[in-house]
């Protein structure tokens, strides 16, 4: 019983770390325009809309964060093998991984923007200086908390996978949670605020992103303010629940039977499928399809 209670405590701590990681990951991604919405940032100059939005996506969030977290976890693992304090090892490993992320972000921005020179899109040096450091700060939080979470799984729960492999798996999961949960807030609700709510993005509006703030041109930092309020917390809750429920079912039910955690996992998936379907049907019945004002008047 004591072992189960200890495991639940570690599970709760890992879920809390995952929640922070998910929030930081989505905010970093939206400030740097990485993920699905970045296609519209890349398209904007080609449609005649010059902007000051950071543009760094070369890979999607899952493989990118899989690389960064695995790199941070691998370096930390090597340092801990040298009998260096675990916390210090994780900090140093995460810092070195963030250095790679910063190089990646800078070269991606310069390369992508240079390819748009024929459309009149300039390279803004102040954007490189201000936005790159902000994305690195958020990336450090995301990488550090994820590597710390993986270390808890190894040291406290006795997970058989080595730390770098755990970092790769959970880094991919972290990027996927942010991409699937947080990006819609940025891509649809923030980047296209000029479109009516629920209208989606018509082909005629492709690339016509919001480029101006309350005072002057909008930068990626403005997107960060929005994401930190909505998309970031949503991504954090998503990733936190994934980690908590994954560890919880193993810690609690593994003692009963080898198949018990698997059965509980299948049941949880089915429960969430039912909840998702109910919410979708409820939303469709209450809000219905999007209609223009002309169609509403004639109806």
Q: How far apart are CA 180 and CA 238, in angstroms?
A: 10
Residue 80, pLDDT score: 94
Q: What gap in Å lies between CA 69 and CA 171, rounded to an integer?
A: 5
| Predicted confidence (pLDDT) per residue in 112-130, tens digit | 888 888 999 999 999 999 8
pTM to 2 decimal places: 0.88
pLDDT at 137: 94
Residues forming beta bridges with residue 217, ordered by sequence position: 212
d(CA 279, CA 187): 22
Other C-beta atoms closer than 10 Å to the C-beta of 113 total 20
Distance (Å, whole) CA 29 – CA 108: 13
Rounded to an integer, what distance in angstroms lies between the CA atom of residue 276 and that of residue 96?
40
Which pLDDT does position 194 carry in this prediction? 78
Q: What's the pLDDT score for residue 61?
A: 86
Give the pLDDT confidence of 252-298 residue by residue, as tens digits: 887 777 788 889 989 999 999 999 999 989 988 888 766 666 655 55
- What's the mean pLDDT in 72-86? 94
Question: What's the pLDDT score for residue 142?
Answer: 95
The angle, 0 to 180 degrees and rounded to 10, between the axes of the packed helices 220-229 and 2-31 is 150
pLDDT of residue 121: 92
Mean pLDDT score, 34-48? 84
Q: What is the pLDDT of residue 186?
A: 80
Token pair belonging to 157 = 């729960």
**Exposed/middle/buried for 125, CB within 10 Å: 0-12, 13-18, 19+?**
exposed
What would the mean pLDDT of 26-39 be, rounded to a whole number?
Answer: 84
Share the mean pLDDT of the chain: 87
pLDDT at 268: 92
* CA-based nearest residue to 247, from 182, 172, 170: 170
Given this model, what pLDDT does residue 38 score? 81
pLDDT at 198 over 80: no
State yes or no: pLDDT of 189 exceeds 70: yes
């Amino acid at each position: 019983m004591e072992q189960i209670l200890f495991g639940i405590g570690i599970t709760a701590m890992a879920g809390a770390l995952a929640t922070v990681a998910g929030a930081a990951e989505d905010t970093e991604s939206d400030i740097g325009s990485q993920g699905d919405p970045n296609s519209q940032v890349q398209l904007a100059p080609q449609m005649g809309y010059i902007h000051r939005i950071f543009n760094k996506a070369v890979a999607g969030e899952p493989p990118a964060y899989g690389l960064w977290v695995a790199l941070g976890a691998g370096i930390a693992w090597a340092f801990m093998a040298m009998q260096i304090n675990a916390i210090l090892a994780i900090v140093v490993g995460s810092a070195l991984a963030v250095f790679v992320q910063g190089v990646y972000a800078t070269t991606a921005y310069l390369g992508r923007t240079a390819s748009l020179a024929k459309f009149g899109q300039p390279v803004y040096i102040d954007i490189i200086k201000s936005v790159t450091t902000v994305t690195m700060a958020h990336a450090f939080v995301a990488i550090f908390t994820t590597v710390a979470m993986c270390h808890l799984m190894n040291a406290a729960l006795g997970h058989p996978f080595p730390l770098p492999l755990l970092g790769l798996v959970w880094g991919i999961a972290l990027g996927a949670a942010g991409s699937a949960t947080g990006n819609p807030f940025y891509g649809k609700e923030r980047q296209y605020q000029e479109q009516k709510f629920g209208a989606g993005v018509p082909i005629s509006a492709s690339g016509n992103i919001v480029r101006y703030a309350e005072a002057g041109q909008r930068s990626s930092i403005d997107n960060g303010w929005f994401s930190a309020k909505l998309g970031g917390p949503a991504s954090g809750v998503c990733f936190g629940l994934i980690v908590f429920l994954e560890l919880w079912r193993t810690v609690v039910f593994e003692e009963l039977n080898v198949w018990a955690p698997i059965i509980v996992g299948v049941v949880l998936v089915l429960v969430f499928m039912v909840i998702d379907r109910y919410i979708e049907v409820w939303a469709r019945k209450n809000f219905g399809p999007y209609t223009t004002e002309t169609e509403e008047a004639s109806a």
